Structure 1
């Protein structure tokens, strides 16, 4: 069952200028394995992290560096969550996160879908027993 959807778009040149102007953002926003990537890839990962926060319904318990965008062997992007962020996602009952990212023409975008197992249905409702009056 889908419990959240998030999307974000980042202007790559503006994002690149912001990182150049404020270098301390790099270690605050990105996991160590992400920091050496090209600016367009960093912008897409920033969009992915923003989209994840939107899909989660807020940033409570979420820390930027606990969210790493990694790649499966096929090249498909995926989240590698650690620390408090992993615990916050699990506490929300989320069992799967789907991520799509792209960058073109100076824009980077990401789309996230969060899934959870539907809540167990309660006991089947039983109609009240019909009473016969024997008057």
Structure 2
């Protein structure tokens, strides 16, 4: 059963400008592994985390660093959750999180579907 759906879109140039304008922002939003990626991929990961937060009902108190977007052996993105995000996933009895990410033409989008 679907228990949450979230989507987000980020303008890559605007995301890059925000990171340049606000020292430390990248460290608050992205894990060290995510910060090593291209700016397009960083923006995509931020969009994915925003979409996940929406799918989880946007509860307060969740930490951005408590979820990381990774890729499996086939290149498919997935979330590695821990801490505050893992607690919310367990509270909602979510068994599977589907994630789709795309970026093109200066934009990135992410879609998340949570299943119980």
1:106 partnered with 2:106: yes
Q: Which runs of 5+ in 1 are unaligned?
A: 117-135
Cα deviations across residues 110-132 of structure 1 (Å, max 9, x unaligned)? 0000001xxxxxxxxxxxxxxxx
Residue segments in structure 2 that go unaligned for 5+ positions in a row? none
Aligned partners of 1:2, 1:103: CA distance in 2, in Å?
25
Structure 2 residue aligned with 1:87: 87
The aligned residue for residue 39 of structure 2 is 39
Instruction: Give the ranges of 4+ consecutive aligned residues of structure 1 lying more than 3 Å apart after TM superposition.
Output: none
Aligned length: 116
Q: RMSD between aligned alpha carbons? A: 0.9
TM-score, structure 2 normalization: 0.96
2:53 matched residue in structure 1? 53
Q: 1:35, CA displacement in angstroms?
A: 1.1
Cα pair 1:71 1:78 within 8 Å, conserved: yes
TM-score (normalised: structure 1): 0.83
Correspondence for 1:62: 62
Larger Rg: 1
